[in-house]
Amino acid sequence: MAWTWRFEKSDGTEVQPAVEPEEFTTQGDAESWIGEHWKELLEGGADQVVLSEDAAKIYGPMSLDASES
């Protein structure tokens, strides 16, 4: 099983991330990585992310903008 992030603009359009992620073996690893890199991703043009396990969407879109809580 592989956990992956999709990086999007606020309208759902996919964008290339400013920091290239890996494929993660656990949900926790994927979430830790996004926690470490969200600011760089936001500054690089991604507004939100979607987490998937293999082909199944787990959650999202989740905003990277901390002021949108």
Looking at residue 68, its pLDDT comes to: 64
Looking at residue 66, its pLDDT comes to: 78
pLDDT tens per residue across span 6-61 = 999 999 999 999 999 988 999 999 999 999 999 999 999 999 999 999 989 999 99
Cα-based distances in Å from 44 to 2, 40, 41: 24, 6, 5
Q: Can you give the residue ranges of every domain in the chain?
A: 3-63
pLDDT at 67 over 80: no
* Alpha carbon 12 to its chain's center: 12
> Could you tell me which residues are beta bridge partners of residue 59?
51
Q: 2 and 51 in contact (C-beta within 8 Å)?
A: no
Indicate the length of the chain as a whole number: 69
HSE-CB for 34 with a 13 A CA cutoff: 24
Looking at residue 23, its pLDDT comes to: 83
Q: pLDDT class for 69, splitting at 50, 70, 90?
A: low
